[in-house]
Amino acid sequence: MSGQHYLLPAQVFSVEDYKKLASQRIEASAWCYLESGSADELTLAWNTAAFASIKLVGKTLCDFANANTELTLLGETFPFPLLLAPVAWHKLFHVEGELATCQAASAIGAGMILSTQASMLLEEVAAKATKPLWFQLYIQQDRVFTAELVNRAELAGYKALVLTIDAPISGIRNNEQRANFSLPAGISSVNLAGMQQQPCATTNLLDSPLFSGFLANNPTWHEVEWLQSITKLPVILKGITSPLDAERAIQIGVNGLIVSNHGGRVLDTLPASIDLLPAITRQVADRVPVLMDGGIRRGTDILKALALGAKAVLIGRPYIYALATAGAVGVVHLLNILRAEFEAAMVLTGCKCLADINSAVLWADHQ
């Protein structure tokens, strides 16, 4: 683990620079956990490669008086369209865990989504925040416990619930298996303490452990409606990969969508998130905000996502690299790097504000 590195290291100018340093400071099996994708890791690779294939159109001699990157999302104002995605167990990567991440997000005004599997209590993190937080939720098989978790998030002051829907089971991550990853002593999903575990229904070796009991209480669309009925908070669905699911979500009244393939960690050979985005944003047609994650490594990637209809993007692995390298200071620095790259991309494509970013900034084969 990191935790001794609080000063900015020299010669760090990009996400990739932070990744190289983080790989030297994170314990080997934890690094494998962070970096692994499912199966052959094709989707994991496509997430970044797809951005590289999208070309931009430059524009010159533009007026940039009063230019800005301000975003209003679900009633909250953010200085730029970049949020911190939910990532489990920040204490794996830095001794101060989610508190360091929250400190950084608050310092720079970035949105942060705390994971259900955080290594620190949701109340403890919220108490240190000076900017609004969202809470990521998995609907647990113990529905009573899930309702209590939602209530805790509301009481702690979280402003939205981000329901992850694309991982009813864990992805088969072979590289993580080969590393024999397990949580070290002292790190756990503390917000799930006390939850009743559902036993597997089958004892017959010929039966499938997955289909013969594990999925008997699996969340469905009915549970999304149930969640909406027990909370006053906006509900955002994370893990949308098809226009049909996007439409159904809108029909039952969700407040936002996040196009995501879970960082390539669940179902391998799903398309890259940026390749999924255009069809979904066309279907949604601005009825609710659409965000996306997966493969964001440069400010130009943010611009491309917004040009294809996203209102904002989320990053996961990149800010963990910075957290492991230099704690809260590193996360602030990384966000400033991406913001500067994004603003430069806006200038060089003639975009004065977020509303100016559209398909016209993309070369013809991606319009």
DSSP three-state, residue 23: helix
In contact, 39 and 261? CB cutoff 8 Å: no
Residues tagged active-site? 262
Structural domains in the chain?
15-181+214-366 (3.20.20.70)
- Paired with 292 in beta bridges are 259, 313
Per-residue pLDDT of the chain (367 residues; tens, 9 = 90+): 444 445 788 899 999 999 999 999 999 999 999 999 999 999 999 999 999 999 999 999 999 999 999 999 999 999 999 999 999 999 999 999 999 999 999 999 999 999 999 999 999 999 999 999 999 999 998 999 999 999 999 999 999 999 999 988 888 999 999 999 999 999 999 999 989 876 655 556 566 666 666 666 788 999 999 999 999 999 999 999 999 999 999 999 999 999 999 999 999 999 999 999 999 999 999 999 999 999 999 999 999 999 999 999 999 999 999 999 999 999 999 999 999 999 999 999 999 999 999 999 999 866 5
Contact partners, residue 259, CB within 8 Å, separation at least 6: 240, 241, 273, 276, 277, 280, 290, 291, 292, 293, 294, 310
Tens-digit pLDDT profile for residues 320-352: 999 999 999 999 999 999 999 999 999 999 999
Minimal CA–CA distance to 288: which of 189, 139, 160, 167?
Answer: 160
Minimal CA–CA distance to 1: which of 186, 265, 262?
Answer: 186
pTM over 0.75: yes
In contact, 137 and 160? CB cutoff 8 Å: no
